[in-house]
Amino acid sequence: MQSPQVLLVLSVTLSLVTIGATDGGFCSAPSILDRETSSKPMYWKVTNPTLSPSHLQDLPGFTRSVYKRDHALITPESHVLSPLPEWTNTLGAYLITPAMGSHFVMYLANMQENARSALPPHDVERFIFVVQGSAMLTNASGVSSKLMVDSYTYLPPNFAHSLRAEGSATLVVFERRYASLENHITEQIVGSTDKQPLLETPGEVFQLRKLLPQAVPFDFNIHIMDFQPGDFLNVKEVHYNQHGLLLLEGQGIYRLGDSWYPVQAGDVLWMAPFVPQWYAALGKTRTRYLLYKDVNRNPL
């Protein structure tokens, strides 16, 4: 016959097991968080990161940002915003530039009410992707396109255009001096991620979309890559291409060289040629990132 103390312990244990089972487990996150996340707009964590400057006020001097010879991690608490040259009502943060060894520029443009873009320098092509808000793009022929979240445009070198925002909008912008080829030219493109087909990725589990044509005139492409929690790159990549990457959703671990970095939505990575690179997605939601890659040109 069991003692009253043993019966009491068994009763409490069974009660805890019952609670754990009915509530989805002892480590389940509160369901209100799931509802709150699902109600947020697409890519909201890019402009509202979990580790924002306000969350780090009790850790003066702390940053996750790292800069090394062959790679960099630039996190939101390190952004230094200033007026973008010749843009109106727009603050920008240059995140990747040739000063660190890249052949392209990547920056965030935070457009405010009645903001207007400027043109890039001569012979420089431009790619714009909208992560928050909307903006109206107009070319020299007067043709206008409204760019919403998850839509983008490619603008050839020396292509007259203007981007206006009636309210706030956040853009990620890539620019590089066009590597021209004889008898090849590029044309303006306007599109959205969801209109691009999924491409085959032999030996890999991630989903891949390419936002620009896989055609010789284009000297770079922009990839959208999706990983489900637990997915990881099979190939430990080492190649001549450069990358500029913005995490749009999710979190995980990125290996760059001999370093392993926890990363999350809002983080930016620069990868120089031949730096070893690898990614694994963690957490409860998918990872989606936007990736710049130079293509279609001889490295010489």
Per-residue pLDDT of 202-216, as tens digits, reads 999 999 999 999 999
pLDDT digits 0-9 by tens, 170-190 = 999 999 999 999 999 999 999
Give the start-to-end residue ranges of the domains of the chain. Answer: 63-294
Q: What does the pLDDT read at residue 22?
A: 37
Provide the whole-model pTM. 0.86
Is 129's pLDDT higher than 50? yes
Q: How far is 108 from 92, CA to CA, in rounded Å?
A: 5
Helix then strand then coil, in percent of the chain rounded to 5, is 15, 40, 45
For residue 235, what is the DSSP state? Answer: S
- Across the range 241-257, mean pLDDT stands at 98
**CATH, domain range 63-294:** 2.60.120.10
Give residue 137's identity as a one-letter amino acid code: L
